[in-house]
Structure 1
Amino acid sequence: MTNRMIFSLAILLGLLGCKTEAPKTDYAELNEAQRRLVKNALASMEVADGLEVGLFASEPQVANPTNIAIDARGRVWVCEARNYRLPYNDKFEKQEKGDRIIILEDTDEDGEADQQKVFYQGTDLLSPLGIAVLGNKVYVSSSPTLQVFTDEDGDDLPDSRDTLFITEGGYDHDHGLHAIKFGPDGKLYFNFGNEVNGLKDKAGNYIKDPDGRPIRTNGQPFRQGVALRCDRDGSNVEVLGHNFRNPYELVVDAFGNVWQSDNDDDGNQGTHINFLLEHGNYGYSDEITGAGWRTRRIGWESEIPQRHWHQNDPGSVPVLRYNYAGSPTGLAFYEGTLLPEPFQQEMIHCEALKNEVRAYPVTADGAGFTADSVVILKSRDQWFRPSDVAVAPDGSLLVSDWYDGGVGGHRMEDAQQGRIYRIAPQVDRYKKPALDLDDPESLKHAFLSPNQDVFYRASMHLENSEGAEAMLKELWEGDRDMARARALWMLARTADDPDLYIQAGLAEEDERFRIQALRIARQLTPEKLTDYIAEVVADDSPAVRREAAIALRRIGTPQAAELWASLARRYDGEDRWYLEALGIGSDLYPELYLAQLDSQAAEAEMDAATKDIYWRVRAASSTQKMADFIRKETEDEAAIARYFRAFHFKPADGRNETIAGLLEIDHPKSDLINSYVLSAIDGDYLDNNAALQRRIQGLLPKLKGTPEWLEAVQKMELREELPALMDMYKNTEDRSLANQAIGTYMDLGGVQLVEKDFRAAADDQAKLALIREYGPIQNNKLVELWAKILDSGQQTFAVNNALVNALGNGWHGQHLLFDRVKAGKLEGNLKTAAVLHMMRCWDPVVREAAAGFMEASEGKEGALPPVARLVEMKGYPSNGKTVFTITCASCHQVNGEGVQFGPDLSQIGGKLAKSALYSAILYPSAGINFGYEGYLVRTKDGGVFNGYIEGETEQEVTLRMMGGISQTITRDQISEMEPLDQSLMTANLQAVMNQQELVDLVAYLSELK
C-alpha cells in the first residue's frame, strides 16, 4: 500500500469518525409555515451557557401536552389534551376514546424518544392538567377527579384505579385541579385554580380541614384558588393558602418550603411567584366580601399589580416576585447537580406567554425572600408554549411544549402538534442511573435524586427498612445541605421519638434547619410544640421567628399567647412577611393573643411596629385602637387611609359605632376622615340610623367630588345631588369614578334631565355631543329615550346614526333595534349600523337573525382567504393602529389609551401568534379569556344588563359593560343571572373593514409586546 493510499484512507476513516453538524437554519429567514415544521424547531432556541437543548419527542408521538412526569427509568409520562375545550374549538375532531396518558421512552439512550406507549385512554379524562408517577401509582388530575392508577405487575397498564378526591367545578378548564407533588415529609402537595369551588372525598362529602371547616371557596373562609397538603391516602387535608387565581403547579423543596406561580386577570401585569406562608390569604379577591380587585376601596394601591393582589390589605401575604405580563405554567424545584450552579436549589418555571423557561434564584430577606430571574431556554418561535418542566433521574430537564399560536382563554390553533425538549450539558446522551434499593450506595444516591419518582421509591424503602438510620445519620452529618435536610425529615419520621432530631435541627447554625425542625415538630409532635417554640422565641433569625408565629396558630393557650406576644415585640415595623406571620398565628385566637400584647404594650408609648400589629390582628379589642390611631395621626394621610381600611377586617360587633364616632372630630384632617367614615360605614347600619344620616348630609357639601361622597349619595339615594353627580361625571379625571357617577345619576332620575337637555339643544352638534356623552350608559329608561327620539322621525341622519350606535351598546337597545329592523323602520346605512350591533347581541335569536339582514357579512369585500394565507400577507402596523382606534378602542386599551372593557392588549403580540390573532378576530367565541366570561342579568323591574363580572359579594354584583361602564346591582334586585356561551367581543368584526385593513390590524397587534 502506497503512502498516498494510506494517507487517503486515514483521512476517510477520520471523517467517518467525526461527528458532522448539520448546517444551521437561519430562523429569521423562515416563513410562517416553515417555522411550524419539527425539523426547524431547534433553530428558534437559545439556551443558557453550559447547556444544550435537544428535541426529545414531537408530533405524531405526542400532541397537546399539558403536564409531564418522569419515572425512575427516565421515561416521560405525558398528559395529552386533544379534546381541550372542544365547544370553543369545534374545528377539531373529537377523540371519541377520550384523552390519553402516554409514556415516551429513549431505549437507545441517544436523547430522543423512540418508543411510545398508551398507559391509559378514557372518556373520563378530559384535558387532564396534572400527573405524578410515584412507584407503581400514577396520580392524574383531571377535574372533577383526582384519580390514582396502580400498575401492580409493571406492564405499563393500570390494574386498578381509585378516586382520591372529587372537585366541585373545574371540568375541562385550565383553572381546575393541578398536579400532585411528593414532599420530603412524605406527604402529597397539590393545588387547584379558581374554577374549582370545593373539594370532596370519593363519596361526595366535602373534605374538612383540621379546624373542621369545609374546603369550599365560598368565603367561609376560603376563596378562589387553593393550595393543599395531605397524607398519601388522602387523609388529613390541610389548606396551605387560598385566594389565588390559577396557581398552575406548586413545588416543595428539601426544607419544606412551598413555592408556586399565579396568573393575573389577563393583561393586568400581575403574574407573579409566591412563597407560601402556611394558612395565608394571597389577595386575588377581597378576603371579606369577595369583591374583585377593581372595586374601589380606601387606600387602594396606586400600581395595578399591587392592587390586583390587595397588597395594602391586612391579611394579604406579600408577593415574592412580580413577573408582570405572562402566562405562568409548570414549575419544578431543581435539587440536582447536573445543571450549572445558578440553577441548583432553585425554582425552574415555564412562562408560556414569553416563550421561556426560567429559574428564580431566591435570596433570604428578613422573614421572607427576594427573587431574580434567569432564562434557561428562550424560543423565537411564538408557538413555543412550555406547559411543564420536570427533572429526570440524571438531573437533566424535560420541557413539554403545548405548541400553539395562542395560550389560554379556551382557544387553540392546533390539536395535532406538541413537543418535548431536553436540556442538559450534553443532550445526545441520556443515561439512566441504575436503581437497586437493596444496595446501600445505590439507595443513598436514590434518596438524593432530583427526580420525584426515584426519591419517592427510596423514601418508601427507607420508611420500611430496618437499619436505615446509619445511612441517614451519615447524610445528616455530611456537608450537602439538601442531603442533610432530606435526612432530617426521614430520621424524625422513622424514629420512635423524633425529639432527638428536632433538637438537632434547632441547634443548627443555618436558619433553614431550625425552620425545618419547627415544621417537623408541627407534624410529628404537636403536643410538644409549645416547648419547641419557646426555644426559638428570641432567635436572631426573623425567618425562624416567622415560622414560630405560624406554629402558634392552633394552640390557643395562655402560654402560647405569651410566646406570641414575645414574637410580636420583636417585629421591626418594616418586615411585612413577619407581620403577616404574626397575623396568621393569631387568627384563630385573636383576643387571647392580643390581650397578652395589650398588657405589655400599655407600659410604653405605642410605636409604629405595635400599631402595625393592631392593624393586622383581627381582634375586637383592636377596633377602637384604629380609631385612636386615626385621632392621633395629624399629618400622614396614607396612614389614616390604612387604619380606616383595617376596619373592614375587624369583627362586626361595635365596628360601625366606632367608625361613626370619628365623624366631625376636631382634627387637622377632618374632611378626609369624614369622607372615609362615609365609605367605611356599613349601608345597613346607616339605613337604620336617621340621626347619623342627617349628620352625614350636612357634611356632603365639603366632600363633593370624592369617591366617598359618591358612596354616600348611592347609599342614601340622595336625588338632590343629581347636579353634583353630573358635574363629577364631566369634570373628574378618573374615568372609572366618572362612570360610577353617571350610573348613579341615571339611577336616581337623571334620564328626565337628559331628555330636557336634548330638547333644548340648539343644533345637531349639541345633540350629537349629548348622545356621545351618554350613549355608553346602560340604563333602561335612557335607552328607551333614545328609541323614542329615533322613532320621532324628526332628526337628521347624523343624529339618527348616533342614536342607533347608542342603542347598540347593550341588550335592551339591541332588541329595540331588532324590532325596528324587522318592521322595516330602518333603511340603508342606518339598517347596516343596526344589524352590526345586533350581531353582538347575547340573545341568539337576535344574533342569528342579524346575518339575514346583512348584505355581506364575510368581509367588507366578500369572502376572506384562509388564515394561513392571511398570515403571509404584508401588513402595515401604522395603518393597523388607525384601524384599531376606529374599530377596537371602544372596548380595549393599549398602553392606557382606549376603553377598559375587554382585556388590555398592550402585550397581546407576545401572547398570540398572527394566526391566533386572526382566529380571535374572526371567531371570538372560540376562546374567551378567563375572567371575561359574559353574563346576562335580568332585574325584577324589567332591566336587562350584560357584561362580565367585575366583582361580586354576598350583597351585590358589579358588571363591566360595553363602553367601560360598571353597573352595580344588588342581589335582591336580580331575578335571573345567566352565563353566556358567546364571547362579549363583537362577532363578524371583519365585516366593517376590508381585507388589507384586517391584515394591517393584525400586523399592529402582533407588534404589541
Structure 2
Amino acid sequence: MNRILPNIGLLCMIAGGHAHAAPPRNPDAYVAQQELPDLSDKAPKKVAVADFTFPDDLEVTVWATTPMFFNPTNMDTDAAGRIYVAEGVNYRHHENRRPGGDRIMVLEDTDGDGTADKSICFVQEPALVAPLGVSVFDNKIVVAQPPSIIVYTDVDRDLKFDPAIDTREEILTGANARNHDHSLHATTAGPDGKWYFNQGNCGALLSNRDGFTLRLGGSYYNSGAGNPQWFNDPTEYAGKPSDDGKIWLSGAVGRMNPDGSSIEIMAHGMRNSYEHCHSSFGDLFQNDNDDRVSCRNTWLMEGGFLGYFSKDGKRSWSSDKRPDQDIPTAHWRQEDPGTIPSGDVYGSGSPTGIAFYENGALPEKYAGSLFSCEARQRVIFSYQPTLGKGAAMDLGEHSELLSSKDNVLFRPSDVMVGADGAIYVSDWFDSGVGGHKDVDESMSGTIYRIAPRGFKPVIPELGDDPLENGAKMLTSPATHVRNTGFELLKAAGKDALPILEELLKNEDRWIRARAVWLLPLIGSEGTEICRGRLTHSDPEQRLLAFRALRNAGADVLEIARVLVTDPSPAVRREIAVSLRSFPAKSKQELVVKLFSQLDNADDRTYLEACGLAAEGMEPEVWKSLVQSAAQEPLEWSEEFARITWRLQPEAAVPALIDRVHSRKLSASARRLAFDTLAFIATKDAVMTIADFANGSNKSLAKQARWWLFNRGLDEWESYGIRQLLKQRGIYDPDKITLRGIVTPEQPKTSNLPPATEIAAMEGDPARGKIQSARCMMCHRFEGNGVPFGPDLTGWVKDQGAEEFINALVVPSQSIAHGYEATRLHLNNGLQIDGIVRSIGDPIMIESMSGLTQLVPKNRIKRTEKRIFKSLMLSAEQLGLTPQDIADLAAYLRTL
C-alpha cells in the first residue's frame, strides 16, 4: 500500500493550459496530489552536520528534511521567510515515478525556532517534470519548466494554486528540452527590476507574447538518458540571427521585462550555467559546467561570448583545440578573439546553485561574498569579488563556506540568502552526480541553515503602508524580497524620494546601491541626484550611476561623451558595452577613443568591451587607430597588436605578414601575428600560413598544419587549400589509409558481484596502481595517460567508489556529456567507433587510446550518431577480478 505523506495535509490541484492562455475550467483537467511509491523500506536519509567542515564563527543546522519535500532542485524565499522548493522526483529515468507530476512545496518555520515545521504543496501538475528553477516575486511563483517559463500568480495568497482563483501563464516558451539538466534554469530579478532567465546548451527557439523569436543555436544534444523531450532541433538554427539581428548561441543568460517582453541577451556561449546571480551594483555572476576539467565561476560582462561553441555554433571546443593548448584554455577559447576571460577555472565538477550575499546575519567579513555550489566536489565555494585595476570584476581566490569531502552523499543543488539573513543550502543527496541519473531511491533531501552560532531568526514585520514596506523589503538580505520592495517604491514615484534619500545615507554600501537604481525611475529630482553621482570619487559609484541612468532610458551617448575618458577602465568598459546597439556614425569617434586608452595588453575584458562596441565597423576603427598611432608594423605596441588581433581588419594583412616573418620580434609577437592572420583569413593571410606548414620554424609549422586541417577543408577551401595539401603531401584523401576500430560489445549481464559488495572489499592502493596501467590507454591521472576519456584524478574521491565500480562494470549505463559515441560505416565495410571532433570533410574522429583519424566524407556509407554505447571496455573485458577492481578504486581514491 502507498502511504500518505506526513506533514502534507492539503490536496494540490493542478492546471493544464498552454502558452499565453488561461487554464481550462473543466474539473476533469485537474487531479489530486499523487502519492509517492511505497517508501516504507526506504527511510529518509541526510548527511549528518558532524560530516561538514565550515568556518569557526558559523554553525550549520538542519532546517528541513524529507519527508517534508523530496529531491530538491532549486529554492527561493518570500518576505515571510517561507522557502519554496522545486522537486525533481520524476528526474530522468524516474520520469514516471510520480504520475501526477512534480511539485513546488512551501516550507515554513511557524514558531521561529530555526526548524521548518509546516509543509504545503503549492502546485503539482503533469507538466512539471524535474523543474530546475523556482523563483518568488511577491505572489508570483515563477517555475523554469521546459519548454516554458511558467508564472503562477497566487491571487488570494493562500499558498496553494487554485485554477478557479489563481492564474497560470507561460511568458516565454520554446526551450529544449524537458527533463534535461541543460535546459531552462531559475529566473532571477536584477537590481534594475528586470527578470533574468538562463538556458543551458540544449538550444532554444524562444518566443514571447510580442512574437519576438530568439534563436539560441549551437547544441549537438538531441537525446539523452531518461528520454528527455525535444521541441526543436538547435542545429537547424545554429548561426542564424534572432529577431534582434544578432547571432546568439546556447547556453545564454537573457533579460526581459517581468511580463516577458523586451528580451535581450546578456551573455552567451556557455556550456550549462546552472544558475546566475546579481550584486546590487548590477554585476552578474554565473557558474558553468564542463566537458573536461574546466568548470568555472565567472563574472559576466554584458554581451560577452563565453566560448564553448565556435561563433557559428557548429563546432565544439574540442574540434578547435590547437596544438599545445591546455584543456581549460581550449575549452573556453581563451586564445580566440571575441571571447571574454573564463574566470576561476577550478577543474572537474558539477556546479549548481549560486548566490551573492550582501547584508544579513553573517559577520561583516562575509559581506560581498559569492557562494557557488559544487555538487561533484561536495563543497560551497566562496569568493570576494572586487573591482580590480583593470576593467573586470576580480573574483580572487576561492575558499570554502561548507564542505563534506568524506561523505559522498552530499550533493548541494542550491544556495540562497534567506529573508532572515542566514544562508540556506539544499542537498539533493545521492551517491553520484552527472550522467543524468539518480541512485537514491528514498528521494531524500535536506535544507541546511548556515548562520552565526546561537542565531535566532528575525523576519521584519510588514504593515499596511506600501512605502514603509517597500523600504523594509529593499533592505532585505533576500534578493527577490528586495525586488518586491523595488516595485513598491517604483510605483510610488516621487513620493518615494524621501525614503531613497534616507537610504542613500545608510552605512551599508549595498543598501545605498539599491536606492541608486530607483532614483532615475521616480522622476526628475531623482534623476538629477543620480546624474550628480556620475562625478563621484569612487569609480564603482560612477559605474553604478551610469547603469541606473541607462536602465531608466537616459541619453547614453550624451553621458558617454562625458565618461569616455574616465580614469577607470571599468567605467569605460561599461560605456563600451552600452554602445553596442548604436549606429556606427553616432559612435565611431567614441569607440576609437575607448580603444586608444587600452593601457594593458593583458586586459582582455577592456579589449573585448571595445571590440563589442566596434562590431560592424572594425575596418574603419582600425584605420583611425593606425593613422593616429603612426607606427611602423615592426614597432607596434603590444596593445596595438592586440587591438589588431581583436578587430581582424583585412587592411592589416601586409603588416601582419611583415611581423610574422620578422626575426626582430619576439616569438610571442610573431605567434600573435600568425594567429591574427588565421582569424582574418584572406587569401594572402591563408597562403602565408600555408607557407609555414613545411617551414623550419617547428612551432609555427605545427600550428600552420593544424589551421590548414581545421579550416582549410571547409571555410578556406575556396583558396585551394585542399589541392595545396595534396600537392605538398600533407593530406591526400585518395591515399589515406583508415583503420576499422569497433569497441567490443559489452556483456549484457555481468558475472561480477554487485558494486556494493566490491566497494565493501578491502582494497590495496599499491596493487591498484599496478592495475591502473590498463586505464592509461584512455584516461589521464597523475599527469600520465591518454586524455580520451574523463580525467580520473579526483574522480573516485568526488563520486565515490561505488559509482566508479558501476561505471567500470557496466560502462554504458551512464555516459558523460561529450563522450557519446558515433559509429562510421565505411564504403569498404569497415566501421570506426569514436568521438567526432570535427564534422567537416574530412570528419575527424577519435577512438580508444586517442587514435585520431581523418575520414573523407566520400568514404562514409552511413553514420550512426550517439549509439549509446560506451567506448570503454568493461571490467570483465579488461580481465579484472573483483579484488583488482577494489584495489584500483583504492588507488584512485588517493588521487
Question: Which residue does 1:872 correspond to in 2?
Answer: 760
In 1: Cα distance, 2:132 partner to 2:354 partner: 13
Question: C-alpha displacement at 1:153, in angstroms?
Answer: 0.7
1:178 paired to 2:66: no
CA contact (8 A) 2:584 2:617 kept: no
> 1:485-884 alignment to 2 at 5 Å?
485-495=513-523, 499-525=527-553, 528-574=555-601, 575-602=603-630, 606-632=636-662, 634-650=664-680, 655-660=682-687, 679-680=706-707, 682-683=712-713, 713-714=730-731, 716-717=732-733, 748-750=735-737, 779=738, 782-783=739-740, 809-810=741-742, 837-839=744-746, 858-859=750-751, 864=753, 866-884=754-772
Deviates more, 1:221-230 or 1:102-111: 221-230
SS state at 1:932 partner: coil
- 1:33-112 map, 5 Å: 38=45, 41-86=48-93, 94-112=97-115
1:144 partner amino acid: P
Candidates 446, 449, 454, aligned match of 1:422 = 449
Distance 1:551 1:882, change over 3 A: same
The answer to whether the Cα contact below 8 Å between 2:418 and 2:478 also exists between their aligned partners in 1 is yes
| Residues 822 and 863 in structure 2, CA contact (< 8 A), matched pair in contact too | no
In the TM superposition, what is the alpha-carbon distance from 1:520 to its structure 2 partner?
3.0
The letter for the 2-side match of 1:385 is R
Q: Relative to total residues, which structure has the larger helix share, 1 or 2? A: 1
SS at match of 1:435: coil
1:474 and 2:499 aligned: no
Match of 1:790 in 2: none
Aligned: 1:377 with 2:402: yes
Q: Structure 1 967/412 Cα, relative in aligned 2: closer, same or farther at 3 Å?
A: farther
Matches of 1:169 and 1:223 in 2, distance apart? Answer: 13
Return the offset for 1:390: 0.9
Match of 2:437 in 1: 411
Q: Displacement, 1:552?
A: 2.0
Q: Distance in 2 between matches of 1:895 and 1:500?
A: 61
Task: Work out whether residues 382 and 400 of structure 2, in 8 Å CA contact, stay in contact via their aligned partners in 1.
Answer: yes
Identity %: 32
Q: Deviations over 1:95-145 (max 9, x none)?
A: 222222111111111111111111122221122111111111111112222
Amino acid at match of 1:378: S
Counterparts of residues 111-510 of structure 1 (less than 5 Å): 111-158=114-161, 159-201=166-208, 206-207=213-214, 218-220=238-240, 221-266=247-292, 268=293, 270-287=294-311, 290-295=314-319, 302-365=325-388, 366-370=390-394, 371-379=396-404, 380-415=406-441, 416-426=443-453, 429-436=456-463, 438=465, 440-466=467-493, 467-495=495-523, 499-510=527-538
- For residues 697 and 523 of structure 1, do their structure 2 counterparts lie closer, same or farther at Cα, with a shift above 3 Å needed? same
Distance 1:661 1:43, change over 3 A: closer
Question: Deviation string for 1:737-759 (max 9, x for gaps)?
Answer: xxxxxxxxxx7254xxxxxxxxx
Say which is worse superposed, 48-57 or 985-994, in terms of deviation.
985-994
Change (3 A) 1:684 1:576: closer
Change (3 A) 1:677 1:935: closer
Report if aligned partners of 1:411, 1:928 keep a CA contact under 8 Å in 2: no
Q: 2:761 and 2:702 mapped to 1: Cα distance? A: 57
Rounded to whole Å, the distance in 1 between the matches of 2:544 and 2:437 is 43
2:884 is aligned, of 987, 990, 997, to 997
Q: What is the DSSP-based 3-state SS (H/G/I as helix, E as strand, rest coil) of the residue aligned with 2:492?
A: coil
Q: Once structures 1 and 2 are overlaid, which stretch shifts more, 455-464 or 362-371?
A: 362-371
Q: Give 1:308 deviation, angstroms.
A: 2.0
Q: CA deviation at 1:441?
A: 4.6
Letter in 2 for 1:237: I
Query: What SS class does the counterpart of residue 133 from structure 1 fall into?
Result: strand
Q: CA deviation at 1:301?
A: 5.8
Matching residue's letter, 2:846: R
Which residue does the alignment assign to 1:983? 870
**3-state DSSP class of the match of 2:201?**
coil
Q: Offset of 1:437 from its aligned partner?
A: 5.9
Per the TM alignment, residue 499 of structure 1 is displaced from its structure 2 partner at its CA by: 4.9
Superposition deviation, residue 287 in structure 1: 3.0
CA separation of 1:613 and 1:144: change in aligned 2, threshold 3 A:
same
Q: Is the 8 A contact 1:301 1:307 kept in 2?
A: no
Asked whether 1:964 is paired with 2:871, we answer no
Instruction: Assess if the C-alpha contact under 8 Å between 2:504 and 2:516 holds in 1.
Output: yes
Q: Distance in 2 between matches of 1:363 and 1:202?
A: 39
Contact 1:573 1:612 in 2 (8 A): no
TM-score by length of 2: 0.84
Tell me the TM-score normalised to structure 1 length: 0.75
In structure 1, C-alpha distance between the alignment counterparts of 2:576 and 2:892, rounded to whole Å? 49
Where do 5+ consecutive residues of structure 2 fail to align?
Answer: 1-41, 217-233, 241-246
The answer for the alignment partner of 1:732 in structure 2 is: none
The answer to whether the 8 Å contact 2:356/2:369 transfers is yes
How many residue pairs align between the two structures?
Answer: 814
Kept after mapping to 2: 8 A contact 1:240/1:279: yes
Give SS of 1:353's match. coil
The aligned residue for residue 947 of structure 1 is 834
Partner Cα separation in structure 2 for residue 80 and residue 691 of structure 1: 54
| Cα displacement (A) at 1:1001 | 2.8
1:535 CA drift (Å): 0.8
Instruction: Decide which structure has the larger Cα Rg and report it.
Output: 1
Compute the RMSD of aligned alpha carbons: 3.2
How many angstroms does 1:388 deviate by? 0.5
Distance in 2 (CA, whole Å) between partners of 1:37 and 1:671 is: 62
Give the deviation of 1:646 after TM superposition: 2.3
Q: Which amino acid aligns with 1:276?
A: L
Partner Cα distance (1:979, 1:663) in 2? 35
Q: Which amino acid aligns with 1:838?
A: E
Does the CA-based 8 Å contact 2:87-2:131 persist in structure 1? yes
The residue matched to 1:146 in structure 2 has which SS? strand
CA contact (8 A) 2:435 2:816 kept: yes
Q: CA offset at residue 617 of structure 1?
A: 1.1
Please say if residues 199 and 216 of structure 1, whose CA atoms lie closer than 8 Å, have aligned partners that are also in contact: no
- In structure 2, relative to structure 1, the CA distance for the partners of 1:301 and 1:248 (3 Å cut) is farther
CA contact (8 A) 1:134 1:452 kept: no
Q: Provide the rounded CA distance (Å) in 1 between the counterparts of 2:490 and 2:891.
A: 60
Whole-angstrom CA distance in 2 between matches of 1:236 and 1:589: 26
Deviations 1:183-210 (A, max 9, x none): 111101122221234433379973279x
Once the two structures are superposed, what CA deviation does each residue of 1:507-531 show, in whole Å capped at 9, x if it has no partner?
A: 11111121123323433336x2112
Distance in 2 between the 1:460 and 1:216 partners?
A: 40
CA distance in 2, matches of 1:933, 1:320: 28
Using the TM superposition, name which of 870-879 and 390-399 deviates more: 870-879
1:325, distance to aligned residue in structure 2 (A): 2.9
Say which SS state the counterpart of residue 865 (structure 2) adopts.
strand
Contact 1:53 1:424 in 2 (8 A): yes
Deviations 1:415-435 (A, max 9, x none): 421111001114663332212
**In the TM superposition, what whole-angstrom CA distance separates every residue of 1:627-682 from its partner, at most 9, and x where no partner exists?**
343244634223222222223433x6xx12333257669x9977766765555453
